[in-house]
A and B are shown apart, each in its own frame.
Chain A
Amino acid sequence: MKHILLLSIFAFSATFVAAAPGDADDADSLNFESFHEEKEGAIVIWDADKGELGGFTEKHTTVTYEKAPAEPAATTPAASGNAAPAVITEDLSPNAARAQAIAEAQAHERRAQGKGYDGQRFMIRARYSLGNNSKTGDSVASAIHNLHQQMAQHCPQGWLNIKEWSLPVEQDYYLHYLFQCASASTTE
């Protein structure tokens, strides 16, 4: 038990070794939107989205959500080979524009390096309802279908679903997936 405790403490404290960007200057401004954006590398003690203690905002995870279930994909990754998949951001989060910018920058960099999206992590979500009093008519099944469509778009070579979780929003829920694209060598 003592070992487990020590390991837990170590795992928790170890996340504080790396440097993280500062919000200190941002805090002394009237730009509340910018200040409350989740920034890469921030020291997160409690992540409500993931339901986790400790850690940093993952630098290589792109948070991107679907705009609308019926909206067609901007590209067809399977047909475009190693080309970066389009990042479809929903209009629900102030982070969306930032996430898109990050994703596009990453895509540009990876293309410049001759790489695809191998190993890239994404976090996506879809809203679903369990009852009648909701803003969406999507069921759990349609939400899962949606998310899998997105994963297929992002990772034409396949993916590893790292984690899934749900969070309540009004009378509905968001189903979140955190996943990592498989590399070509993995699938061969």
Chain B
Amino acid sequence: MNRKLLSIAIASLTLAPAAFADVTVYGKANISFQQLEETYTGANLDWTSQDNWEMLSNASRFGIKGSHDISDTLKGIYKLEWEYDTADGLADNDELKARNMYAGLQHKHLGTLVAGKHDTPLKLAQGKVDQFNDLEYGDIKNLMVGENREDNIVMYTTPNFGGFSATVAFMPGEDAGCDDPTNPLACTGAGQEDDGFADQISASVGYTMKDVFAVTVAMDDNVQNADIIRAVGEVYLGPVTLGVLAQEAEVHDDYAAAGIPTQGLGKLDGIAKHLATGNGAFDIASATGVGIWEEQSAMLVSAAIKAGDFTIKGQIGKSETTADSRIDPLGLADFEVEQMAFGVDYTLSKYSKVYAYYAHLEANPDSAVTKLTIKDDEWQTFGVGIEVNF
């Protein structure tokens, strides 16, 4: 009887083949318990705005992916991925937050073409240089611009040609592009200029010699209003991995000229605002009217050493951001950010690890005038966590 039931049960799970493309689930849960501290140091007053323990979900995610053979060499592919909050059940106040998702075609000899929402090639050029990716105050998005996931992206990646590969992506700006003689102001200026086919472009080209080194150069043009050049290198010396990332960024010309308030600073927006309003004694933005960054230089160096099941890792980075000199000729709103992080991972199995790390982030105004009232703004954290992949 049991055999019959089992046969029927199995049969009930077997449907007509090829009705759909494959559906495979994957993801990871990464949760940590962290001591978080945020302090401002003013000329006459120190201020602690946070000093507590929190449980954090670090970009925990799940996704589904699949493919379907169209011919011997061509297949349709898709991926849908969402972030969820393992600690609070929420991610950015939503139940789920969209991550990379696309539909596309993959040809064995011609490469892969996808369209949807995706990290830019410049962002992904970082490879594994960011040893504290997704971790609070450790992620390089705290240090530099360019860590963007873009909507409406069309992306093409070449096959691997003996270690070489390249990716180019473009995004329509989707501004309305209206033409209304009765209300010309509504159809001109910022927010109406990017109405073309490929207003924003991101691209990367890289070469990898397996187990020896990898180099990538990437660029953004008008992505989140920024033009960026990024160079990344990784060297693998047995159990040691060394990484370096350097980049130069500037606000895209259209927006710099238009005088739009700060845009495209990404995670640094928060740091800039903190710095500007810091201890409440001096508000750079209010005092100067400056809300625009103009240029940023950033650099990161990292290292990881594997020793058995342990991986010891660390990284240091620095960025310098200048305000628009046409509005802030004295550079009152210029600031620099320094990051330092180190930690250790312990591999439990192929699918899970536990880790501990410390990260320190410090933002300082560059201007001697501003330093009279704001010394620095510091964030630091110590955390222990676990990551389980599936």
- Alpha-carbon distance between A32 and B390 when the two chains are bound, in angstroms: 19
Candidates B8, B9, B13, B27; contact of A22 at CB < 8 Å:
B27
- Alpha-carbon distance between A169 and B63 when the two chains are bound, in angstroms: 27
**Contact partners of A30 in chain B: CB under 8 A:** 121, 124, 157, 165, 167, 204
- Alpha-carbon distance between A21 and B160 when the two chains are bound, in angstroms: 24
- Alpha-carbon distance between A44 and B389 when the two chains are bound, in angstroms: 15
Contact A28 B124 (CB under 8 A): yes
Contact A11 B63 (CB under 8 A): no
Contact A44 B81 (CB under 8 A): no
**Contact partners of B258 in chain A: CB under 8 A:** none
Candidates A4, A7, A51, A169; contact of B69 at CB < 8 Å:
A169
Whether a CB of chain A sits under 8 angstroms from the CB of B141 is no
Whether a CB of chain A sits under 8 angstroms from the CB of B73 is yes
Chain A proximity of B127: nearest CB distance (Å):
8
- Alpha-carbon distance between A107 and B240 when the two chains are bound, in angstroms: 32
Whether a CB of chain A sits under 8 angstroms from the CB of B17 is yes
Stretch at the interface among B18-26, B288-296, B323-331, B356-364: B18-26
- Alpha-carbon distance between A7 and B69 when the two chains are bound, in angstroms: 32
Contact A169 B13 (CB under 8 A): no
Within residues 18 to 64 of chain A, which ones have a CB less than 8 A from any CB in chain B? 19-25, 27-33, 35-36, 38, 42-54
Whether a CB of chain B sits under 8 angstroms from the CB of A139 is no
The answer to whether A32 and B14 touch (CB under 8 A), given A22-B28, A48-B22, is: no
Whether a CB of chain A sits under 8 angstroms from the CB of B350 is yes
**Contact partners of B100 in chain A: CB under 8 A:** 27-28
The answer to whether A4 and B81 touch (CB under 8 A), given A22-B389, A51-B18, A165-B17, is: no
- Number of chain B interface residues as a range: 35 or more
Give the size of the chain A interface in residues (CB under 8 angstroms): 45
Chain A proximity of B301: nearest CB distance (Å):
21
Contact A7 B9 (CB under 8 A): yes
* A-B CB contact pairs (8 Å), 12 listed: A8-B9, A21-B350, A22-B27, A23-B65, A25-B28, A29-B124, A30-B204, A38-B22, A43-B390, A51-B18, A53-B13, A169-B71
4 closest pairs, A vs B, by CB? A51-B17, A22-B389, A23-B26, A46-B23
Give the A-binding residues of B (Cβ under 8 A): 5-6, 8-10, 12-28, 61, 63-69, 71-73, 75, 77, 79, 81, 100, 104, 106, 108, 112, 114, 119, 121, 124, 127, 157, 159-160, 165, 167, 204, 349-351, 389-390
**Apart from the given pairs A3-B5, A38-B24, A169-B72, 16 other A-B contacts in the complex at a CB distance below 8 Å:** A4-B5, A11-B6, A23-B63, A23-B65, A27-B26, A30-B157, A31-B160, A32-B114, A33-B112, A36-B106, A43-B25, A44-B23, A48-B21, A53-B15, A135-B72, A166-B17
